[in-house]
Amino acid sequence: MLWAMSVHGHTSPSRRALSLLPVVLGCALLLSDAPRQADGHRGPLIVVYVGAEDCGPCRSWQRDERPTFHASSEFARLRYREIVVPQLRALLTTERWPVDLAELRERVKSRPGTPQWFTIRDGNVLASDAGLSAWRRTIWPAIRAQVRYDPVLSEAYDELDVLPVK
């Protein structure tokens, strides 16, 4: 880069400022794009529970684990959805599934049985497992890790006066 020299062999302050302009503009563009990247990559954590009313392990989870989960600070920081059918044999019936969860229906089809859970962020399944023991073994630790170590969720949560849903 050629520098414009003043009479005394030094660059003028205005020329130095102009030469830094591309650097400043580049940094400003990167910083202005950061919130969009954070929003695009760090959407809300969604937990989907799949169960059946005639499923013994599902009833056990609903009775023993779900109340504690719903009362937790983690629950207040995520979106929760349930797909509960009256009978296990109707689990894969298309009309029981919301259109936006059709992909999960295909996953359940490949691993039949209930209860099942999925943790999802930005359309990506982060964790999934089936069976009553899966809640404590896989899903609850995954939820806690995602909520606890997510600075975007933590900051947003800290700014709110949120009471657990009971």
- Choice between 7 and 98, residue whose per-residue pLDDT is larger: 98
Q: Which fold has domain 46-159?
A: Glutaredoxin (3.40.30)
The domain segmentation of the chain, as residue ranges, is 11-39, 46-159
Note the pLDDT tens digit of each residue in 148-159. Answer: 865 554 444 444
Q: From residue 109, how far is each of 70, 88, 102, 123, 140 by CA, in Å? A: 27, 12, 11, 19, 23
Note the pLDDT tens digit of each residue in 131-146. Answer: 999 999 999 999 999 9
Give the position of tokens 């009479």.
Answer: 7
The edge-to-edge listing of strands for the beta sheet with 116-121 is 79-85, 46-52, 116-121, 124-130
Give the span between the Cα atoms of 37 and 43, in whole angstroms.
Answer: 10
CA dihedral (133, 134, 139, 144) positive or negative: positive
Give the pLDDT score at 59. Answer: 97
Give the pLDDT score at 140. Answer: 97
pTM: 0.66
Average pLDDT over residues 89-118: 90
Q: From residue 141, how far is each of 44, 61, 94 by CA, in Å? A: 17, 16, 30
Average pLDDT over residues 31-38: 37
Give the pLDDT score at 152. Answer: 53
